[in-house]
Amino acid sequence: MVIEMDLAQRRAQHDVETAEHLFDVAVEQFDIAADVLGLEDNMRRVLRHCQRELTVHFPVEMDDGSVQVFTGHRVQHNDGPGPTKGGIRYHQSVTLAEVKALAMWMTWKCAVVGLPFGGAKGGVQVNPKLLSGSELQNLTRRYTAELAHMIGPTKDIPAPDVNTNPQIMAWIMDTYSMHEGHSVPGVVTGKPLVLGGSEGRAEATGRGCVFAIQEAAKVVKLNLQRAPVVVQGFGNAGSVAARLMAQLGAPVVGVSDSRGGIHNPAGLDLTAVQRHKDRTGSVVGFPEAENVSNEDLLVLDCDVLIPAAMEGQITEDNANFIKARVIAEAANGPTSPEADRILHDRGVFMVPDILANAGGVTVSYFEWVQALQAFPWKEEEVNHRLQDIMARAFAAVHGTAERYGVHMRTAALVRGIARVAEFTRLRGIYP
């Protein structure tokens, strides 16, 4: 027990240290792409900064009557393209630097797939697994009240992220609506269907990632029906991506969650794995597989690797040992710039986060449109539109990569940054 607690503390400290450096990584990636574009100095100064950063310290009454103070953030990177858009995460390692980086990446992500949004992100430094349902609701409502002046359907639209879900979005919507005096379903996306959520939203990030993998497979001439797949992170995005890859015929040989991973080179029965996780709280210990660490999972034999967990997982320390031919980043920021260079030199085809996981924000856009029009779409229409957008965005990014002779991450950033820079030039500087 003591060893497990020590490992958990060290992992938490590593997560915080990684988060603190994340904005430096985001700016470094921006600078690389800006050099490729030949972006002028004035534009660099504008786009390297976040427009608004809010940090709040707010009290929450706990079930035992005590009052705890939590720290939360909301950052809006750039509202040039339109209202800002980005998720809210609840995690013990949340820092302002991390939220700034994620907000910047959201700006480029929305631009890459052509959405009329700028980028934003939010987070509360908390381990929600330690809270009761009523404490979680109290925290969500008080955090929302602190943000109420800066969010809204035409200003900034939150969505689910790490450890948040449709229920939390419902609480945010209700709290904001109480402040406004009328129901405002368009203030968040990722809501329950009955409150105006969109068909297909829950699976959108994983489904969009698989659409991107299908396009990448055409480029590298990979037969997905015989391509072993490893997924780090068996949460919403990772479990959906794993299931959809298996439906394409690809054997999923390894998956993991925050407690560790499992590996079976013959392929996993994902339905049985999900039942095991629902029963025990983790994929670890699944009887028809071998337990492996999250670190070892990344270097298993496979053709497709899907990092769908937290940031900073693929670094210069393990990039040389990764065996996958294609990496599709369902998570945000899982690969360091140093690892990017190593993987590119080794011929690994990277589908970067701002393209690979753009399915979530794309269907969030669909949900926002449906809320504004009060006109729901069928799931078939949602998925068809998503596939079309992902395929067109992939083709555009791949074409940019070939044009400039750069890897796919830089190409995606070039596409996104060029689009936002164009908005900025056309709108000008006020006053």
236 known ligand binder: yes
Note the Cα 309 to chain centre separation in Å: 9
> Do 362 and 389 meet the contact criterion of CB atoms below 8 Å apart?
yes
- Whether 121 is a known active-site residue: answer yes
Confidence at residue 10, expressed as pLDDT on a 0 to 100 scale: 53
Q: What is the CATH number of domain 2-186?
A: 3.40.50.10860
pTM of the prediction? 0.91
Q: Looking at domain 204-356, which of 3.40.50.2300, 3.40.50.720, 3.40.50.12780, 3.40.47.10 is its CATH number?
A: 3.40.50.720
Record the tokens describing residue 94, joined without a space. 């949340």
Write out pLDDT tens, residues 218-258.
999 999 999 999 999 998 899 999 999 999 999 999 999 99
Query: Residues 191-197: what's their mean pLDDT?
Result: 95
Nearest to 158, CA basis, from 175, 180, 134: 175
Write out pLDDT tens, residues 401-412.
999 999 999 999
Write out pLDDT tens, residues 15-62.
566 667 889 989 999 999 999 999 999 999 999 999 999 999 999 999
Strands 260-263 and 290-292: antiparallel
Catalytic residue among 121, 191, 277, 323: 121
Record the tokens describing residue 199, joined without a space. 């068909």
> Do 126 and 163 meet the contact criterion of CB atoms below 8 Å apart?
no
Delimit the CATH 3.40.50.720 region(s) of the chain.
204-356
- Residue of higher predicted confidence among 331 and 14: 331
Confidence at residue 7, expressed as pLDDT on a 0 to 100 scale: 47
> Do 90 and 122 meet the contact criterion of CB atoms below 8 Å apart?
no
Confidence at residue 54, expressed as pLDDT on a 0 to 100 scale: 98
Confidence at residue 267, expressed as pLDDT on a 0 to 100 scale: 97
109 known ligand binder: yes
Phi, psi of 239 (to 5 degrees): -70, -40
Delimit the CATH 3.40.50.10860 region(s) of the chain.
2-186
264 known ligand binder: no
Residue 351: partners with Cβ closer than 8 Å, 6 or more residues away: 209, 212, 213, 216, 326, 327, 328, 329, 394, 408
pLDDT of residue 2 exceeding 80: no
Residues 65, 377: Cα–Cα separation, whole Å: 45
